[in-house]
Structure 1
Amino acid sequence: MNKLLPFFFLIITLADFNVKEHQFIARQGQISFFSYTSVENIEAKNNQVLSILDLEKQEIAISMLMRAFVFKKDLMYEHFNESYIESDIFPKANFEGKIIDFDAKTMQNQTRIIRGKITIHGITKEIDIKTTILNNNGNYTLSGSFDLLVNDFDIKIPPILSSNIAKTIAIQFNFQYKPYEE
């Protein structure tokens, strides 16, 4: 029995190493959004987005603090966080998805669909996101854009301000992943 114990620990250690070898992290991913209206364009960027990419499972998870968005005007930041997103109640937005038909070994650009669930303002919706994936010597970059409807996430806009905020918001993202290390 004593001879099997070290072998058992070796198997567990190797299994744990194998999992980490397929995991990548982007600690400072970038997400921006743009809203066009005839009155004033609204634009914000968030460079503090955390994402984990698991190549073996072909899964991705993204989490970001809503208060980390930076706007050109302080009043936009205040309205976004207090009136629309209600960041005190819903401080984070999350996405979990699976990359469809992804080949982690190819060095060429791949355009793939990530199918998953996005949660904003406490509402979860299924979404497909067209994504460009680049393998740069074992470091991966995922980028793309997609649109979201404000109404899908139960964001209340007073009728008097409805002409100031677009019904569709354009989202852009860029994540540069490095091997996960504790």
Structure 2
Amino acid sequence: MPTSAPTLTTARLTLSAHAATDLEDCAAMWTDPRVYTMIGGQPRTREDVWIRLLRSIGQWSLFGYGSWIARDTATGHLIGELGLIEARRAIDPSIDATPETGWTLTGDAQGKGYASEALAAILAWTDARIPATTCIIDPANAPSIRLAERLGYRLRTTGTYRDAPILIFDRAAASQSPGAISAQ
């Protein structure tokens, strides 16, 4: 079981473990309205981002999976945070039985295919290890809904989180479901 995120690479991106040195870039990302509007609706404080960063590091030790920092390989600029989380959120209905896939991209990285590229690599890694994942999406976030569906996620139900409606999607690993999209 890995205790740290393995480095994954794509044509344009390097996905690596979170590090303390990522704090300032991540904190800047989480204060951008293009980022947080569809993810909770509020900017995150530097302290909240630090706790998220520590959670990301710790999940690898506890579960053998977690999330990655994605950077543009050529420039080193932060693209976002993507991967799996064990958030144990108070979601109705509960999604605690299945790891949650999540993706957050900087405002400048949105709409350029980075999420598809990074998630294809992440799901290829995940599919070899985890039979199914879930994700939650704000019903107004049409780009993320389209992306989830392209990646093989299917709407299970609507739910609530922090008194707001969410859509809950499920995806079987490509090796588990002949209809799932295979990540290359």
Structure with larger RCO (C-alpha < 8 A, sep 6+): 1
Same-fold call, TM > 0.5? no
Could you tell me the TM-score, scaled by structure 2's length? 0.27
Q: Which structure would you say has the larger Rg?
A: 1
Of Structure 1 and Structure 2, the greater strand share is in 1
Of Structure 1 and Structure 2, the greater helix share is in 2
Could you tell me the TM-score, scaled by structure 1's length? 0.27
